[in-house]
Chains A and B, each alone.
Chain A
Amino acid sequence: MDNKVILEVNHLRTYFETKSGVVPAVDDISFQVREKEVFCIVGESGCGKTVTSLSILNLIPPNAGKIMEGSSVKLEGKELTNLPAKEMYDIRGNDISMIFQDPMTSLNPVLTIEKQLTETIMRHMRIKKNAARARAVELLNKVGIPSPEMRLKEYPHELSGGMRQRVMIAMALSCDPRILIADEPTTALDVTIQAQILQLMLELKDNISASVIMITHDLGVVADIADRIMVMYAGNTMEYGTSWQLFKNPLHPYTQGLLASIPRLDKRVESLYSIKGTVPKLSLEMKGCKFASRCPYADDRCRKEIPPLFDLRDAYGDGHKVSCWRMERKYGNDVGE
């Protein structure tokens, strides 16, 4: 379990400048991704999960947002936040690649699959066209696309949603990246196709050497695939731990609420649990725990002071981190950062 750390994110803050003030979309997030693990970031819309992944890749549009001073993203010890644009080009695709949510819009509709796949391969691996084509066929095979030679000649509109997502995965894997970031890779797909893609990702996990950062809002998807999970809310980390810790012993009121809000197949309840209220508007003026306004346990301290990430040990092991003042009372075990 304790593989080498490959990506280290420390105190990441990404702020956006808007007409109505600064929006701290990601506000002091730290986590580590180890070799060959699947690390999941879970949260609802606007919690900053996608901004986190774009920050890792240094893809925040400079006229809109900014990775703040003091943030650090290290890939195998190499700092990425201040890397010159040219060097960053080589990191993207080669070392870190990304799959987006919507396979309809992330492929170019006027280019054949072959053109799009081989272009990436030739650019990053610096090989000739024929070799790149052979590699493309091999990749399509790997992601379970039948008769890959034929498919290469087709355009994106000739493929179904599931097939397109397979092509996106093939493209992302084409240069043997160290890290694969998958942003809601199954959200746009139907249930039976989603099951196929998740199955594929599980198979790939065993066959490739990359670590996967998977971003999703769906705790069900996460449970199937994650080694470790970070739950985000309003730009902050709420809870962080192995999937056993999160699902068997959720400690943060937000995580508990999320899990209780999902209608379960194995239980029938009259009325679903629901978290009161809505996600707050993000601003720098917000004080205290971001979840306080919706938390059933919140007290004065929660509304004034941001809780640290308490590092706890439970029946499922070390490293269960929870950002909630109740943990201090519960465990008296303040070993926060």
Chain B
Amino acid sequence: MGMMWGNDTMTKEKVLLNVEKLTKVFRISRGVHLKAVDGVNLYVKEGETLGLVGESGCGKSTLGRCILRLIEPTEGIVEYDGQAITSMRHKQLRQMRREMQMVFQNPYSSLNPRMTIMDSVKAPLDVFQVGTPKERIEQVVEMMKIVGLDESYLYRYPHEFSGGQRQRIVIARALMPRPKFLVCDEPVSALDVSVRSQVLNLMNEIQKEMGVAYLFISHDLSVVKHVSDRIAVMYLGQIVEISDVDELYDNPLHPYTQALISAIPIPDVGDKRERIILTGDIPSPISPPAGCRFHPRCKFATQRCKTECPSLKALAAGHAVACHLY
């Protein structure tokens, strides 16, 4: 397999994807707008995993889709390997999609129920006209081995598979055009615990073998911790903290990150952790609070937080936070 991917000398240092001031505004009705993504800056290095965490409605899926231009961003730049995706024309963009693929949350709706597994997984190769038809089939067979599915499954239909198997199929399909970057939008949250760990391990192995970088979107902080090298925390369209994974869990700085981490239920008894229980609900992104968007739920909020929106400041190497406390 190493030969097929020819990527043994990958380095983890080169920036593969760079996102600057990315903004997406949806128009709800006349005069009513929703800023789902608000001036996001981030980068993903070659072969690494950037975890993107946040609660429902924080804009994490929209951000993932804007990066691939599945949704057109309103403003901002996305650069992949030095090329600005955001200003590409359709034809060029389409070629670019070979390099960047997506895995969706629900493996039940992301496979066409009327296509065999072979047809679904082979589709990306057909679209990009890779090799001869015979070679394409061989590549699909090889990919099935990589994701741990039996070759005999290839001519079956999606309904014959369990959720975990379907997610393997979806991953296989995304990997077919040999991408270097995958946006994974909650890839394991529809799966049961015992199957979830199988898929997470598979994704880790694939990354090691093929050097593919992941933007791993999830609401589950324990899963994100397990797969990520770095983590970005999102709240109401903005990145509030971004850091190396161990640093983030050992030393969370933003009050929201602190609450998120302390809210994770730990499967053990006799756990005497101090819990931070946030009061109130997540405000509607249609009319977000002025100033720091987290201030109505923050126990450290001051007058300044109510009026002035903090920007992301780098405090240590690889650790930035958007909070007036620092």
Contact = CB atoms under 8 A, between A and B. Distances in A.
A265 B261 contact: yes
Interface string A280-295: 0000000000000010
Interface string A189-202: 01111111011000
Interface of B: 55-56, 162, 164-165, 192-198, 200-201, 204, 219-223, 225-226, 246, 249, 259-261, 263-271, 275, 277-279, 281-282
Nearest to B282: A190
A190 B266 contact: no
Contacts of B200: 263, 272
A257 interface: yes
Interface string A166-207: 000000000000000000000000111111101100000000
Chain A binding site: helix, strand, loop or mixed by DSSP?
helix
Contact of A274 (B198, B226, B249, B267): B198
A95 interface: no
22 contacts: A44-B192, A160-B282, A162-B281, A191-B219, A193-B281, A195-B275, A195-B277, A198-B265, A222-B267, A223-B266, A223-B271, A244-B269, A247-B269, A259-B267, A261-B196, A263-B223, A265-B261, A270-B204, A272-B197, A272-B226, A275-B198, A278-B162
Nearest to B259: A192
Contacts of B221: 191, 265
A190 B195 contact: no
A285 B281 CA distance: 50
Interface of A: 44-45, 160, 162-163, 190-196, 198-199, 217-224, 243-244, 247-248, 257-259, 261-266, 268-275, 278-279, 294
A126 B199 CA distance: 53
Contacts of B220: 191
A149 B279 CA distance: 20
Contact of A195 (B194, B196, B263): B263
Given A190-B282, A265-B249, A278-B162, A247 B194 contact: no
B55 A219 contact: no
B264 A220 contact: yes
A262 B277 contact: no
A263 B198 contact: no
A243 B269 contact: yes
Given A263-B223, A273-B197, A190 B265 contact: no
A286 to B, nearest CB: 17
A199 B219 contact: no
B184 to A, nearest CB: 15
Contacts of A45: 192
A146 to B, nearest CB: 9
